[in-house]
Amino acid sequence: MSAFDTVVVGAGVAGVTAANLLSRAGQRVVVLEARDRVGGRLWTDRSAGLCVDLGVSWIHGVDGNPLTDLVEAFGIDTVEFTVGAFQPDSRPIANYDPSFTLLNPVAAQRWADDVHDVDQELERVIASCEPGQSYAAVAAQALATRDWDTERKQRVWEFYRHRTEEQCGAHISDVAAHGLDEDVIFGDEVVFPGGYDQLVLTLARGLDVRLNQVVKSVVWSAEGGRVDTAAASFQGRNVVVTVPLGVLKSGSIEFVPELPPEVAGPIERLGMGVFVKVFIQFPQHFWPSDIYAMRQQGAGGDVWHSWYDVSGSSGQPMLLTFAGGPRGREVEAMTDEQVLASALASLRQIYGDKVPSPVNHWVTRWGGDPYSLGSYSYVAVGASHEDHDAMATPAAGVVHLAGEATWSTDPATVNGALLSGHRAAERILGESIDLRELHQLAPSS
């Protein structure tokens, strides 16, 4: 059995951040990763000669974000691509009505004003809602205060449904009323033309990372922990577990004894969303060049409601569309060919014969991935934002959970994962660590 100061489970951003900071403090650290690569849900595909980020894609809000300084220190190029927290306007968006006709600027602004108007009422309803209410319930209450016809209300309601599908990967009725409280973006958003994995590859450089190590159990006590894989055992004074919430919820890793209620409770209560990304590369542009996105209203946008022009980061004519929540699970069960046919049929309802045959396509399936079992965490009905941080409560001062699901102010983000790994390292060392120590990993250093 190999003995270490700390055993880290998972080589995503949280895991390699914790391992790096602990190693820099002089600890002997090993990182166990089930996959054959580092990065976890941060995964750049370069198989087609360009970079396609199949997992996380954005830095959501560069202002005051520790990722911003880190990426700059590492010399990683970014491109501004701000979509906001699924807003009805804020950037040039082509909105199509239920008959697939482009809304003129006046009609589009009227619809966006409706959303903003109900949003103000929604904030008041959420602030005074009873515990245990869903986002669907409070949205319905807010809409009920408006003396509008059914069609007008329906346009706002479907916007709220799609907002929770995109932001949470869950149906509007499964998300807590307060589930989107932290959904605020500060500053622009950026993407990575050279691939987001540049970040995690730099953070992992020099670490003792063991790939293809599927963890089966974590046996722990106040004296330390033992992590068992199918092939070996690793002993550590501390264990940092950074696997996604979906894996923890599945019980595929056995904790002996079971995790304490203050940790196990949040794991049970929080939700793990499913969010499918479909990238489609075309031989040429056929959509307007002066817009960020296209949005489809009505039944025609039930599954494929938003299209984003990601040509600026990929360097090729490319659109990105999404399916989240129950729709995302349905899409994951389809073949690539079925997904592509469905998405193209939707796009052709808008652009008709202008849509050419694609050059290439990519379909993500994080919900069916055994090492993630979902895309990212969200506050489900019955859970709270405090559950995110509570999930990281150290068990006997030995077992530390980290990852995006354990960071309350920025869950479902890379910066949340980064900060959770930093927190775990500080708790293990019992002292503050300047996160800027990681800047020394820059290639020029």
Q: Is 200 annotated as a binding residue?
A: no
178 labelled ligand-binding: yes
First to last CA, the chain: 35
Report the alpha-carbon distance of residue 57 to residue 53 in Å, rounded: 6
33 annotated to a ligand binding site: yes
Give binding residues for substrate as ranges: 178, 322
Give binding residues as ranges: 33-34, 178, 215, 322
Give binding residues for FAD as ranges: 33-34, 215
